Amino acid sequence: MSPYIDIHTHRLGTPCDDTISVYSLRLGKENPDDIPRPMWAGVHPWDCDTVGLEAIGRLSDMAIDGIGEIGLDRTRGDLALQRLFLDGQLAVAAERDMPVALHAVRTSEEVIAAVRKSGVDRGRVTLHGFAGGKELAARYLGEGYMLSVGWRTLASQRGREAVASIPDGRLFAETDTEGDIREVYGGIAAVRGCGVEELRDMIYDTYRRLFGRLSNIDV
């Protein structure tokens, strides 16, 4: 049976045979040596005020599997400064030809424009913690992105309608900072009217497509 994929987590759980968790490292705040791969790393938009821009240089040769979470958050901190970090980190992702995980809060158009300008492969971009409705989902899907959903997405009717609208192959599940990935899968399967096993196969395929080119990932 395919493993569960937790595409975005900030928690180091107990290693578990049936789950692959992709840790999201807050660069400049956490030590990558302590974290098992697979791993995203990036300066989180909330950390831009306290982490120096020179941190971006470290991404160029860090042993990681993708760049993230990076992005813009209108509800926290200085947006212009966040934009500098975002552009710099997208440039590294383009240079290293790596997947990207985005954090976008009330900044969807700004983030979409930044990704377009960067030359990053838009088919390997995941919008993490997707929390909009069907229209916003369609906007991101039109850009080629994948959408990652968690409990916050499933908690509202609007979010559940969006989850039902995401095509196979473009969907991920995540715990972010709380909850159990099995429960997120159960919620998604109920909304989409499919079985959990089928969902596990589908998301695992998507995961392999996203990371499969990287030789260090055992897929």
Q: Which residues of 89-107 are buried (b: 16+ CB within 10 A; e: fewer)?
A: bbbbbbeeebbbbbbbbeb
Q: Which is nearer to Zn ion, 9 or 118 (CB)?
A: 9
CB of 93 to Zn ion, least distance (A): 17
CA distance 197 to 173: 14
31 token code pair: 């030590």
State which of positions 80-139 bind Zn ion (CB under 5 A): none
Closest separation in Å from C-beta 176 to Zn ion = 5
148 φ, ψ (degrees, to nearest 5): -110, 130
As measured in angstroms, the least distance from the Cβ of 129 to Zn ion is 6
In the complex, least distance from residue 177 CB atom to Zn ion, rounded to whole angstroms: 7
Number of residues engaging Zn ion in binding (CB under 5 A): 1
Residue number with CB closer to Zn ion (8 or 124): 8
| Site pattern 7..36 for Zn ion (x: CB under 5 A) | ------------------------------
Closer CB to Zn ion, residue 149 or residue 192?
A: 149
- CA-angle at 116, arms to 111 and 121, nearest 5°: 110
Q: Pick the closer one to Zn ion by CB: 132 or 192.
A: 132
What is the per-residue binding string for Zn ion in 168-187, x denoting contact by CB under 5 A?
--------x-----------
Q: Side by side, which strands form the sheet with 146-149? A: 4-9, 19-26, 39-42, 66-73, 100-105, 125-127, 146-149, 171-173
In the complex, the smallest distance separating the C-beta of residue 69 from Zn ion, rounded to whole angstroms, is 5
Rg of the chain taking only CA atoms, in angstroms: 16
Q: Which is nearer to Zn ion, 47 or 176 (CB)?
A: 176
Residue nearest to Zn ion (CB): 176
Q: Which of 109, 104, 67 is nearest to 88 (CA)?
A: 67
DSSP-derived secondary structure letter, 30: B
Looking at the Cβ atoms of 73 and 176, the one nearer to Zn ion is: 176
Give kind and range of the element (H or E) at residue 138. Answer: helix 134-143
- Contacting residues toward Zn ion, per CB under 5 A: 176
